[in-house]
Amino acid sequence: MDYTATLISAMLALVTPLIGGLLMGVDRKLTARMQERVGPPLVQPFYDVLKLWGKVPMIASGLQPVLAFGYLGFAFVAAGLVTFRQDLLLVLFVTGMADICLTVAAFNAKSPYSYLGGRRELLAMLSYEPVMLLAYIAIFLVTGSFTIRGIYEYGAPLLLVLPAALVALEIVLVIEMKKSPFDVSGSGHAHQELVRGVFTEFSGYTMALVELGHWTKLATALMILSLFWAPSPVIGGAISLAMFFVALMVDNLYPRLTWQRMLRTTWTVGFALILLNVAALAVGGVIR
Partner 1 sequence: MTLIQKARLKSLWVMHFDCGGCNGCDIEVLAALTPKFDVERFGIVNIGDPKQADVMVLTGPVNHRNKRVLRNLYDQVPDPKMVIAVGTCACTGGIFHNCPNILGGVDKVVPVDVYVPGCAARPEQIIDGVVLALKKLAGEAPEEDE
Q: Which residues in this chain contact partner 1 in the complex, by CB under 8 A? A: 28, 32, 35-41, 44, 46-48, 50-58, 60, 189-190, 192, 195-196, 199-204, 207
Q: Is the separation of the CB atoms in 200 and 113 below 8 Å?
A: yes
Nearer to partner 1, 34 or 235 (CB): 34
Peptide bond into 112 cis (omega under 30): no
* Angstrom distance (rounded) from CA 239 to CA 158: 12
Of 92, 138, 156, 161, give the one whose Cα is nearest residue 272.
Answer: 138
Q: How far is CA 24 from CA 119, 178, 199, 245, 259, in A?
A: 25, 12, 17, 12, 24
Q: Tell the smallest beta-carbon distance from residue 11 to partner 1 (Å).
A: 23
Determine how many CB atoms are found less than 10 A away from the CB of residue 198: 30
Q: How far is CA 184 from CA 4, 141, 194, 195, in A?
A: 43, 33, 9, 11
Nearer to partner 1, 121 or 129 (CB): 121
Q: Tell the smallest beta-carbon distance from residue 171 to partner 1 (Å).
A: 27
Q: Tell the smallest beta-carbon distance from residue 17 to partner 1 (Å).
A: 16
* Angstrom distance (rounded) from CA 97 to CA 92: 9
Nearer to partner 1, 102 or 165 (CB): 102
Q: Hey, is 8 helix, strand or coil?
A: helix
Residues 6+ apart with CB under 8 A from 128: 171, 172, 175, 176, 266, 270
Q: Tell the smallest beta-carbon distance from residue 55 to partner 1 (Å).
A: 5
Q: Tell the smallest beta-carbon distance from residue 183 to partner 1 (Å).
A: 14
Nearer to partner 1, 37 or 110 (CB): 37
Nearer to partner 1, 7 or 50 (CB): 50
Q: Tell the smallest beta-carbon distance from residue 50 to partner 1 (Å).
A: 4
Nearer to partner 1, 28 or 119 (CB): 28
